[in-house]
Amino acid sequence: MTDENPFAPPTPRAAVPSANEPKTPAAAPRPEPTPDPDPETGPPAEGPVGQRTAQLPTSGYLTTLPAPPPAGSETPRAYTPHPAPHVPGSHATQPASRSRRGGIGARAVSGVVLLGLLAGAGGGVAAFGLLDGQDAVRPADAALPRPAGGADPVQRPEGSVAAIAAAALPSVVSIEVRARQGVATGSGMILKADGYILTNNHVVAEAASGADVTVTFSDGHEQPAELVGATPDYDLAVIRVEEKGLEPLVLGDSDDVVVGDAVLAVGSPLGLEATVTTGIVSALHRPVKAGEAAEAAFIDAIQTDAAINPGNSGGPLVNSAGEVIGINSAIAQGPGTAAATGNIGLGFAIPSNQARHTAEQLIETGTATFPIIGVLLDPSYQGEGVQVSQEAQQGTPAVTPGGPADQAGIEAGDVILSIDGRPVSVADELIVAIRAKAPGEPVTLNVRSGGDERDVRVVLEEQSSGQ
């Protein structure tokens, strides 16, 4: 008979004593030693060569015995184990052989089950008797220590990580965008009580093409959202849900941030909602160029070692006062890594002052602007500072006629060494330093023309996002 259960041992035959045989013989004749099945797993189950299968427990034969076949039928065995010695009181007996009448009778099945139950009960009684005889090795009391009654609860003072997290989490949301290409997820923070939410442009970029946006709040309820406005130049976007009475987070002053400040990153990394990680501000004014070249965002970023992972994008970076000092937007990846794989201790956030200015523009007009000085920069230049291109590029002049730089006397081939006393050595540094300002704001550039250096005052001009 072939066992229908490939994970069970071969079907055993019940050891049914005869009427004249005592139910518990004093000793059984010891057969010749022969290889027998593993007492724990039984003989190997039928299956593909080399395939391992898990073994179910052998104590419950109700789950391993098949129903008896009809009388007179013969089922060829694929495997016939060597007979095992009969041990009185044991679950496993000699392997069942084919019955001359074609199957195992119902009494034999009942005998196997009953014998298993009786053997289990007998073994349990014997085990307790053995332990009762060894009081010296039994613990007198198994109860583990408990906290003292009336002890004061753990105190979490104002300003602790737990207190800051408890205050921030209700105002942080998870965002899901469903488009034809797939599903994108990210984070966001409540800006206003009447449903405005700030996030990254790259989180909700597909919403501009009609993708569905769903916001999940900290209490688990969901709301559809619509895109209010977005700018790829700063990688910021505002969406809105039809809900009132929300609790907004406060945008702090990112100009007051210093290296070493303690911070919390809050969001939904890898889809794990309401996650909080801690760290410090590890650097300031880090030039970060994020996104594809056609829609790259230039960020004068706050750098942190608080763990930021895919899905944290758009969530807040919070200081010890519970104020938002940045919007988590990007993470660094090792050399040769094509896509974001996870945190390596270098995360970047858009400063809150930039986020505030851009969010206000998006809410009021649906678009945002950024400042320019009106020059093209030469990315191949390797010397000190940043060089203005020496010739036009794709029909665009190196210095925009009538633009801020032209009016300040900057010419093609000049080298810009610093902006407001802050040295610059690559083009991205100058770009993010300018974009951290507001249109109409003046800046001082240190410029070298030939062998001469001079300071020039330039009033930044406004350009709409996407132009």
Tens-binned pLDDT, residue by residue, of the chain (467 aa):
444 444 444 444 444 454 455 544 444 455 555 555 554 445 544 444 433 334 434 443 334 445 555 555 444 444 444 444 444 444 444 444 443 444 445 444 444 444 444 444 455 555 555 555 555 666 677 888 887 877 788 888 888 999 999 999 999 999 999 999 899 999 999 999 999 999 999 999 999 999 999 999 999 999 999 999 999 999 999 999 999 999 999 999 999 999 999 999 999 999 999 999 999 999 999 999 877 666 788 999 999 999 999 999 999 999 999 999 999 999 998 777 766 678 899 999 999 999 999 999 999 999 999 999 999 999 999 999 999 999 999 999 999 999 999 999 999 999 999 999 999 999 999 999 999 999 999 999 999 998 899 999 999 999 987 54
First-to-last CA distance in the chain? 80
pLDDT at site 290? 79
**Nearest one of 385, 378, 377, 361 to 445, comparing CA atoms:** 385
Q: Which runs of E-coded beta strand occur in 345-429?
A: 347-351, 369-372, 386-387, 415-419, 422-423
pLDDT at site 136? 61
Ranges for all domains in the chain classified under CATH 2.30.42.10: 369-464
The CA distance from 434 to 448, in Å, is 18
Q: Which runs of E-coded beta strand occur in 113-261?
A: 172-179, 182-190, 196-199, 212-216, 222-231, 236-241
3-state secondary structure of 76: coil
pLDDT at site 215? 98
3-state secondary structure of 463: strand
* Residues annotated as catalytic (active site), given as ranges: 202, 235, 313
**Nearest one of 43, 55, 39, 24 to 119, comparing CA atoms:** 24
pLDDT at site 115? 42
Please list, in sequence order, all residues whose beta carbon lies within 8 angstroms of the beta carbon of residue 55, skipping any fewer than 6 positions away.
Answer: 7, 8, 9, 40, 41, 42
**Nearest one of 361, 222, 377, 360 to 298, comparing CA atoms:** 377
DSSP characters for 406-456?
HHTT--TT-EEEEETTEE--SHHHHHHHHHTS-TT-EEEEEEEETTEEEEE
- Class of the 369-464 domain? mainly beta
DSSP 35: -
Bridge partner residues of 467 (DSSP): none
For residues 288 and 278, is the Cβ–Cβ distance under 8 A? no
* Architecture of the structural domain at 254-365: Beta Barrel (2.40)
Is the C-alpha dihedral spanning 283, 285, 287, 289 positive or negative? Answer: positive
DSSP characters for 220-269?
S-EEEEEEEEEETTTTEEEEEES--S--PPPB--GGG--TT-EEEEEE-G
Q: Which residues of 376-404 are buried (b: 16+ CB within 10 A; e: fewer)?
A: bbbeebeeebbbbbeeeeeeebbbbeebb
pLDDT at site 110? 45
pTM listed for this prediction: 0.69
Ranges for all domains in the chain classified under CATH 2.40.10.10: 161-241, 254-365
What is the H or E stretch that residue 325 is in?
strand 324-331
Please list, in sequence order, all residues whose beta carbon lies within 8 angstroms of the beta carbon of residue 444, skipping any fewer than 6 positions away.
Answer: 419, 420, 421, 455, 456, 457, 458
Q: What is the CATH number of domain 161-241?
A: 2.40.10.10
Q: Quick one: tokens of 108?
A: 């034999």
